[in-house]
A = this chain, B = another copy of it.
Amino acid sequence: MQRPLYKVVEEFIREHIELGKLVPGDLIPSESRLSQELNVSVGTVRKAIDILEKEKLLFRHQGKGTYVSRIDFDNSLFRFFSYGTASGESTRIHKETPYRTRLEGPSEICRHLKVNPGTPLIYIERIGYDEEELPVLIEKCWWRADVVEGLEDKELHLPDLLYAIVEEKFDVRIIRAEETLTADIADKETANILGIKIGEPLVMLLRTTHANNDRIIEYRVTRGRADRFSYKTEIR
Q: Which residues of A contact B (CB under 8 A)?
A: 54, 56-57, 69, 71-73, 75-77, 175-185, 199-203, 226-227, 229-236
Contacts and interface: CB of A to CB of B under 8 A. Distances in A.
A236 to B, nearest CB: 4
A236 B201 contact: no
Contacts of A200: 185
A229 B176 contact: no
Contacts of A229: 182-183
23 contacts: A54-B54, A57-B236, A71-B236, A175-B236, A177-B234, A177-B235, A177-B236, A179-B232, A179-B235, A180-B231, A180-B232, A181-B231, A181-B232, A181-B233, A182-B201, A182-B203, A182-B227, A182-B230, A182-B231, A183-B203, A184-B201, A185-B200, A201-B201
Given A54-B54, A201-B202, A75 B183 contact: no
Contact of A233 (B178, B185, B199, B202): B178
6 cross-chain pairs, A with B, having the tightest CB-CB distances, nearest first: A183-B183, A183-B226, A176-B236, A183-B201, A181-B231, A177-B235
Nearest to A232: B180
A230 B200 CA distance: 19
A198 B211 CA distance: 41
Nearest to A202: B183
B56 A236 contact: yes
Nearest to A209: B235
A230 B185 contact: no
B176 A234 contact: yes
A231 B207 CA distance: 12
A228 to B, nearest CB: 9
Contacts of A177: 234-236
Contacts of A69: 236
A59 to B, nearest CB: 12
Contacts of A178: 232-235
A117 B235 CA distance: 27
A180 B234 contact: no
A235 B183 contact: no
